[in-house]
A and B are shown apart, each in its own frame.
Chain A
Amino acid sequence: MAQQELTVALVGNPNSGKTSLFNALTGLNYKVSNFPGTTVEKKTGSTKLSAELTAQIIDLPGTYSLYPKSADELVTYELLRNKAETNFPDLVLFIADASNLKRNLLLLTQVADLGVPVILALNMVDIAERKGIYYDIDQLSKQLQIPVVAINARKRTGVTEVKAQLLQTHERNKVKYFSLDFLDQKFLEEISEYTDKKNHYAALQYAINAAQLISTKSKQIRSIFDRFQFDSRAFQEKEILQRYHLIDDAVRIARKQKTGSLAKSITQKVDKIVTHRIWGISIFLGLLFLVFQAIFSWSSIPMEWVEIGFVKSAEWVQTTLPEGVLNDLIVQGVLAGLSGVMVFLPQIIILFAFIAILEDVGYMARVGFIMDRIMRPFGMNGKSIVPLISGMACAVPSIMATRSIENKKEKLITILVTPLMSCSARLPVYTLLIAMLVPAEAKWGPFNLHGIVLMFMYLLGFAAALVSAFVFKFFIKAERKNFFLMELPGYKLPVVQNLLITLYDKGSAFVWGAGKIIVAVSVILWAFASFGPRNNMRAIDEHYAQLMQSDSAILFTTEELATQKSAAKLQASYAGEFGKWIEPVIKPLGFDWKIGIALLTSLAAREVFVGTMSTIYSVGGDVDDLDSIRAKMSSEKDPITGKPIFSIAAVLSLMVFYAFALQCMSTVSVVQTETKSWKWASIQFVYMTALAYLSSLLVFNVLG
């Protein structure tokens, strides 16, 4: 018999254990894509139910109701509302937290009323029992008229029973909880006809959500509402209250609460410390410090491995392939771009390991709770703190992390300012430039002066993010009132398998998301830097050909000649032309046309600055030899005035420029996807570039 497939949507509230159940059901048998038109991850996994039947399980973002408030929730609603969709589920596997059953069941009754068969997986029964709450599973199933299975997703118990139920349930009858009989039947039929949905609840629910939007369709829906004097808000309120009423009855009958006082939960004891005025803030700062340590010291070893790996493979390609354009393209374009992506992977994995563990344990919600008051004056909320902190590793995954922020204005502000946080790509640039300012061994008291300047650059980025957010607050229109309602889930021990899967997802999202663009930009820039006006390039070729023949050739080694030639070629290339063309604009900042070339090549990723500098100043061989690049740069003189190009003022100006400018095409692209508009991506690019330009102008002219 041929394999049959059953499409199952996994639905539930946030913090109900949905991800754990998904992992327990599918293991590594899943793939990640995006929901159409969004950056919201869509995880689809398969699990074998019987010899003939496989279930395709779609993991949907957690939501509290079918009236979506955030981009995440919208995805769940969109999939469940449209029966014509290819992904429309044959049935819904609903996961609910037994220790907080009533609120979880609200969504279940809404989903069931859309006309999809539902199975309830009752999770965290053990936690409920610790609270003194016991459920009679058979009674609950009878009351709700749907199959109920008790599971423990974290310990992976009950998974076989869930699969057994999936096998049977797709033929079961559908249930209906909430009756629309109190409404005018003519009204329901008109809505049903207009929205082309037979199920009255699905039709009305869709109409209410659509009426919120601005479109011709919503206008017509509103006019139907008006004609029948239908108040959608009053209806929703009535709907929620009636559903809770139904749920109350069902839960009360199925529940056996032990009498006697409940012991104070561990969660409450921990929260007393974690949200304490002094301890709470100390713990937060301590963890932050630990994360920093991890990102900057632990990651240096794996980062070195990645670098060595790429240097070795570049050498191998260079010697194996015949010399020529293809060889150059692979080594200087593709491999250079790939290495620029992969070298940050260790930092990103470490950062996300911390975030994932803290999230899984339940601490991240507390960070939002602690920080909300501080973020609020800047037009953001407590949930903005996670993207901002992650922005110190890489803005790309951080911007993806903003989608849990419900309020559009707060989300947008967070997206706009996150790239100002000093990401890891700025680190090599700062390291090179700081070394030109202060000697490595300089001390200020017991501290290394180098480190202090570096820390100042991080603080500068953070301050710029806050100030910009404060300014944006006055320019971005709020669609609805700001509020900050969030569940503080009970603390749990982290699950290793969940952590590994999350890391794998984040890592591959970064490599494929940012990687594609960085490699593409790197190849384009390689072309700009390798080709130039034909006459100029030919002149250089001829000059060096002559030089090789002449007597003065013995003054240089072949290698030295080659590096000098490539420097000359870069200067004559289109990139060099661009540098000269842009020079009048950047001259007031203290930059010459050579720096202009580096500003252009940095668009792939900021750290490319270092590589470009080493090519321009023809430092042969090892690109990482910072000392020799620094020495060459320090001795560079202005051909007209004779003063050094890299004066203290110019170096500071360049550092400030790199702190503020959005020289990262991957960020531009992810912002475009996340906000679904080029408008905000362009505004961000323009404001950050303007901020960088003006600040550098100020620094150079005040100090110069």
Chain B
Amino acid sequence: MKLSKLPFGKEAIVESIADTELSLKLLEMGLLPGETVALENIAPFGDPIAVRVGEYKMCLRLQDADCVMVNVIS
């Protein structure tokens, strides 16, 4: 599933990052394969979204979250 489609209240594990230009920056920010993520907030105008990555919260635009594939864990 795409990170942009992750519903509230579900945790997921990052599987892969598609966009090459973005991936290095995401990796540096700790969003790497195997890390746990969860959706925490959506901005008032529907975009961007705030995601818990490991131990902290970061925000990214939906178009960028589209490039991150995750697996939901129940």
A508 proximal to B (CB < 8 A): no
Are B41 and A372 neighbours in the complex by a CB distance under 8 Å?
no
A277 to B46, CA, bound (A): 9
A276 to B50, CA, bound (A): 12
A565 to B41, CA, bound (A): 68
Give the residue of B26, B40, B46, B56 whose beta carbon is less than 8 angstroms from that of A485. Answer: B26
A272 to B41, CA, bound (A): 7
A435 proximal to B (CB < 8 A): no
Are B56 and A100 neighbours in the complex by a CB distance under 8 Å?
yes
Q: Give residues 358-375 of A contacting B (CB, 8 Å).
A: 368-370, 372-374
Contact with A along B29-55 (1 / 0, CB 8 A): 110100000001111111110100011
Give the residue of B22, B25, B26, B45 whose beta carbon is less than 8 angstroms from that of A374. Answer: B45
Are B59 and A486 neighbours in the complex by a CB distance under 8 Å?
yes
Output the least CB separation between B10 and chain A (Å): 16
- Tally A-B pairs: CB < 8 A: 113
Interface centre among B28, B41, B57, B59 (most CB of A within 10 A): B28
Are B41 and A102 neighbours in the complex by a CB distance under 8 Å?
no
**B42 CB contacts on chain A under 8 angstroms:** 275
A595 proximal to B (CB < 8 A): no
A449 proximal to B (CB < 8 A): no
In chain B, what residue has the closest Cβ to A128?
Answer: B55
A230 proximal to B (CB < 8 A): no
Given the interface pairs A272-B41, A369-B50, A373-B43, the reply to whether A485 lies near B32 with Cβ below 8 Å is no
Q: Give residues 311-347 of A contacting B (CB, 8 Å).
A: none
A480 to B24, CA, bound (A): 13
B61 proximal to A (CB < 8 A): yes
Interface size class, chain A: 35 or more
Give the residue of B26, B43, B56 whose beta carbon is less than 8 angstroms from that of A369. Answer: B43
B58 proximal to A (CB < 8 A): yes
A486 to B48, CA, bound (A): 11
Output the least CB separation between A308 and chain B (Å): 45
Are A373 and B21 neighbours in the complex by a CB distance under 8 Å?
no
B18 proximal to A (CB < 8 A): no
Output the least CB separation between B12 and chain A (Å): 18
**B27 CB contacts on chain A under 8 angstroms:** 237, 240-241, 244
A residues with CB within 8 A of B = 64-65, 67, 69, 99-103, 106, 131, 133, 233, 236-237, 240-241, 244, 267-268, 271-272, 275-278, 280-281, 368-370, 372-374, 376, 382, 480-481, 483-490
Are B47 and A373 neighbours in the complex by a CB distance under 8 Å?
yes
**B32 CB contacts on chain A under 8 angstroms:** 240-241, 244
In chain A, what residue has the closest Cβ to B51?
Answer: A488
A415 to B12, CA, bound (A): 39
In chain A, what residue has the closest Cβ to B27?
Answer: A240
Are B28 and A67 neighbours in the complex by a CB distance under 8 Å?
yes
In chain B, what residue has the closest Cβ to A484?
Answer: B61
In chain B, what residue has the closest Cβ to A107?
Answer: B28
A278 to B55, CA, bound (A): 28
Given the interface pairs A373-B47, A481-B21, the reply to whether A65 lies near B28 with Cβ below 8 Å is yes
**A106 CB contacts on chain B under 8 angstroms:** 28, 30
A525 to B56, CA, bound (A): 55
Are B20 and A485 neighbours in the complex by a CB distance under 8 Å?
no
In chain B, what residue has the closest Cβ to A281?
Answer: B44
Are A487 and B57 neighbours in the complex by a CB distance under 8 Å?
yes
Output the least CB separation between B53 and chain A (Å): 8
B64 proximal to A (CB < 8 A): yes
Are B44 and A277 neighbours in the complex by a CB distance under 8 Å?
yes
15 CB < 8 A contacts A-B: A103-B54, A133-B55, A233-B24, A240-B24, A241-B27, A271-B41, A275-B43, A275-B44, A370-B45, A373-B47, A373-B48, A481-B21, A483-B25, A485-B60, A490-B57
* 8 other A-B residue contacts (CB within 8 Å) besides A99-B56, A233-B20, A372-B48: A240-B28, A277-B44, A370-B45, A484-B60, A484-B64, A485-B59, A485-B64, A489-B57
**A490 CB contacts on chain B under 8 angstroms:** 57
Are B60 and A271 neighbours in the complex by a CB distance under 8 Å?
no
A65 to B27, CA, bound (A): 10
**B48 CB contacts on chain A under 8 angstroms:** 369, 372-373, 382, 484
Output the least CB separation between B58 and chain A (Å): 5
Give the residue of B21, B24, B54, B61 whose beta carbon is less than 8 angstroms from that of A100. Answer: B54
